[in-house]
Amino acid sequence: MNPKFIIISLVLFITETLIANFVHDSFIRPFFGDFLAVILVYSGLRIIASNILETALWSLFIAFTIETLQYFKFIEITGLIKFKVLAIVIGNSFSWWDILAYTLGFFAILIYEFFPFLRLFILANIKLSKA
């Protein structure tokens, strides 16, 4: 069990909840929220899984599967739309932009995990820009 990913998952879950409830725009909620969603799934799986690439691929697969369910209107066809939490998690509108957001989230995971020097570079630039 990896406690680091418990904290990351918790922070991402809270962030996603805040975005879903309080942000009503055309970029953060629909695009950045989906970008973070695949990272949230990854961090949740990494609590118990150790293989980085396999876990990242599973996260992307889960995101694509949910988007495919949206394309086929699964939630409406099965009558599950009446369950609010499930309807929110699965959603009901397919978008190629969502697929792009999930894919970019997947690549962000790989960059974070496999290129730690880039992670340090990005953090250093953030600190410099605030100074």
Q: Which tens digits make up the pLDDT trace of 8-22? A: 999 999 999 999 889
Secondary structure (DSSP) of 7-33: HHHHHHHHHHHHHHHH--SSSIIIIIH
Which range has the worst mean pLDDT, 5-14, 19-28, 32-41, 60-69? 19-28
pLDDT higher than 60, residue 131: no
Residues making up the chain, counted from first to last:
131
Biggest CA pair distance of the chain: 53
Higher-scoring residue by pLDDT: 13, 122: 13
pTM, 2 dp: 0.85
Tell me which residue range forms the domain holding 60.
3-130
pLDDT higher than 70, residue 126: no
Domain count, the chain: 1
pLDDT higher than 70, residue 40: yes
Q: At what angle do helices 33-46 and 52-71 cross, to 10 degrees?
A: 130
Confidence of residue 74 (pLDDT cuts 50, 70, 90): very high
